[in-house]
Each structure stands twice: as structure tokens, then as C-alpha cells.
Structure 1
């Protein structure tokens, strides 16, 4: 199964993971956010629904993605742009969009505020 891990990570954490990968240590697919607030700002409920509808489905047009979630094409287009900018979706050579994973794992720890 091709799983992506969404996490909260500092620049140092990301650098350490990259260095470990360069050293031959398998890291798997990761998309990191600097804060939990940014993760939730980026991955709204409607964007989660969009990702769910695209999981394991291959490349599709934005119009097809909108049809799958029963939403307006223009609104889905805006969500797709946000997800592309965040590195969560990819665009194919023919202009389609793809969420190239079979599963999503979200990994962060909530602690007491300082």
C-alpha cells in the first residue's frame, strides 16, 4: 500500500529525515506542515472529502473530481490549487490532477501550551 504521512515538523526535523534518506534509510512519503494550525487550514473538511474521493483513483480532470464530491467545478478548482501548492496533489503532463496514494496517515502529538 502506498501511504503518505502528513505530519507537523520543524525545518530541523525535515532536514534530519532528508539526511537519513540520503544515508539509505527508507523514509516513505511525507508531507510536513510547520504547525497543526496550517495543517487544518490547508486540509479543510471539503478538501479531505476531495482527497478521499481521489484516493487510489488515478489521474482525473478537475471536472471529474468535482462530480465525485458533488460540488461546483470552480470551488473544487480553488481547492485543487491549494492542494497542488501544498504538494499534496500532483498534476500530470496532460493537465489532470492525481492524489498518488492509497492511504493517508496523519501523525502529530497535541501537548499542553507553553
Structure 2
């Protein structure tokens, strides 16, 4: 993996843990972005099968229109629009100045611990 790869870590964390992760990232100078969710249920809801397919389609593709994403995936544009909107709201995707959608990360890491209790 490229030492300069832009990584996003999707995880479950309360405010204290999120602050600890942010402080650790600043110390390490690692090119990581953390997006935290209040529960694993919320994280897994965001990462539905269809949304993971969108992330795969955008990996390395550069900016694309929602219409082009739908065409490449052979899906209905309205459904893709809804999924892209959810990923934009979560911060996993971003819009370019000209309104295209892009995945600004080279690596997406999901960090979830499931335990009893």
C-alpha cells in the first residue's frame, strides 16, 4: 500500500473515543480520516450491499455523475441517487465543484468490535 494512501476508518465510537482517535491521528501524522457512528447498527445500515457496490465502482474511477454511476452499475438512477446521498451525508463520498461525485479515499477500513453485553 502506498505510504501516502488516503484512508478513511469507519467505526463505532462515543465522543470520548472519537476525541482520543483524533488526538492519536494528529500525533501519528497518518493520512487517516475517522468517521464515527453511535452504533454498529447505524454503520452497517450505511454500508448496505448496494452502497458498498457504489464504493467499489468509485474506487479509482475519479469523479462521476450519478447518472454515470447508475449506468455502470445497471441500476435505477433514483435508487443510486438515494444511496449516493446517504454516503455523501456520512462523509464517505464528496461532491466536486462541478457537481460530480467522488470517493476521496484510496482505502476504506471498517473497524467494528462486536462483543457480548
Q: TM-score, normalised by structure 1?
A: 0.88
Tell me whether 1:33 sits opposite 2:37 in the alignment. yes
Tell me the residue number matched to 2:61: 57
Pairing 1:1-114 to 2, within 5 Å after superposition: 1-22=5-26, 24-27=27-30, 28-112=32-116, 114=117
RMSD, matched Cα: 1.5
| Unmatched runs of 5 consecutive residues or more in structure 2 | none
Shift of 1:21: 4.3
Residues 66 and 101, structure 2, Cα contact 8 Å, conserved in 1: yes
Residues 60 and 106, structure 2, Cα contact 8 Å, conserved in 1: yes
**Counterpart Cα distance in 2 of 1:38 and 1:86:** 11
SS in 1 for 2:28: coil
Residues 6 and 104, structure 1, Cα contact 8 Å, conserved in 2: yes
| Deviation digits for residues 27-85 of structure 1 (CA, Å, limit 9, x no counterpart) | 41222211110011111110001111101111110011111211011110011111111
**Counterpart Cα distance in 1 of 2:18 and 2:109:** 17
How many pairs are equivalent? 112
Q: TM-score, normalised by structure 2?
A: 0.86
| Unmatched runs of 5 consecutive residues or more in structure 1 | none
Instruction: Tell me which stretches of 4 or more aligned residues in structure 1 moved more than 4 Å.
Output: none
